[in-house]
């Protein structure tokens, strides 16, 4: 069971840095959980900065938007290093779709946490082939807290941990929604990929 660390009453200078990773398949509520944690940090009067990869324009150019249409303003960035430059003196850094960043995100996140910031990342832990989606495994390894969320399998209704691509595209990154992907349980995912 995940118990969210209490951000209430901490000042930036006293804050101990930490890394939190929210991972799972598509349609599992990763972004919804990220927005919830960032909103709570704001309610606690903490200075929050939110970032997303500039390639992700599915719902909005400058907002992080969940599949349930909950949204929060963010700063689109092209490189992980931009997060380090733009986070300034904030208390909490949020990053959505972390899997779209290169390996530099691991170093950036560690530097931010070592500066005393609470860093919360959300991203896919596996790609459309069911393989670990780099750099997420490394982020999960260095995190103090990892939360894996699950979707519902669109074939059988069980818990789903896999993102099944509906098209024949072979590129690792293909942005899409319900027209391009379905959440699948292990059994239903492998029935169609083997």
182 included as an active-site residue: no
Q: Give phi and psi for 149, each to the nearest 5.
A: -110, 155
Choose among 138, 125, 140, 44: nearest CA to 91: 44
Q: Considering only the C-alpha atoms of the chain, give the largest distance between any 2 of them, rounded to a whole number of Å.
A: 53
Dig out the tokens for 168 from the structure.
């024949």
The alpha carbon dihedral of 165, 159, 69, 35 has a sign of: negative
Q: Which residue is catalytic, options 20, 33, 49, 97?
A: 97
Give the containing element (helix H, strand E) for 43: helix 30-43
Beta strands 18-24 and 145-149: pairing type? parallel
Catalytic positions, please?
97
């Amino acid at each position: 069971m995940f118990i969210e660390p209490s951000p209430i009453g901490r000042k930036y200078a006293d804050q101990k840095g930490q890394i939190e990773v929210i991972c799972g398949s598509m349609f599992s509520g990763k972004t919804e959980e990220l927005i919830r944690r960032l909103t709570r940090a704001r309610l606690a009067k903490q200075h929050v900065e939110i970032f997303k990869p500039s390639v992700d324009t599915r719902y909005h150019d400058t907002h992080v938007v969940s599949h349930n249409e909950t949204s929060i303003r963010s700063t689109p960035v092209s490189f992980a290093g931009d997060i380090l430059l733009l986070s300034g003196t904030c208390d909490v850094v949020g990053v959505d779709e972390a899997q779209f960043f290169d390996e530099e995100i691991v170093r950036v996140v560690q530097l931010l946490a070592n500066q005393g910031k609470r860093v919360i990342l959300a991203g896919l832990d596996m790609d459309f082939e069911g393989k670990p989606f780099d750099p997420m495994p490394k982020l999960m390894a260095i995190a103090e807290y990892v939360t894996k969320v699950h979707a519902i399998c669109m074939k059988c209704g069980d818990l789903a941990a896999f993102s099944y691509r509906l098209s024949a595209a072979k590129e690792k990154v293909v942005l899409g929604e319900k027209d391009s992907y379905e959440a699948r349980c292990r059994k239903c995912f492998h029935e169609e990929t083997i």
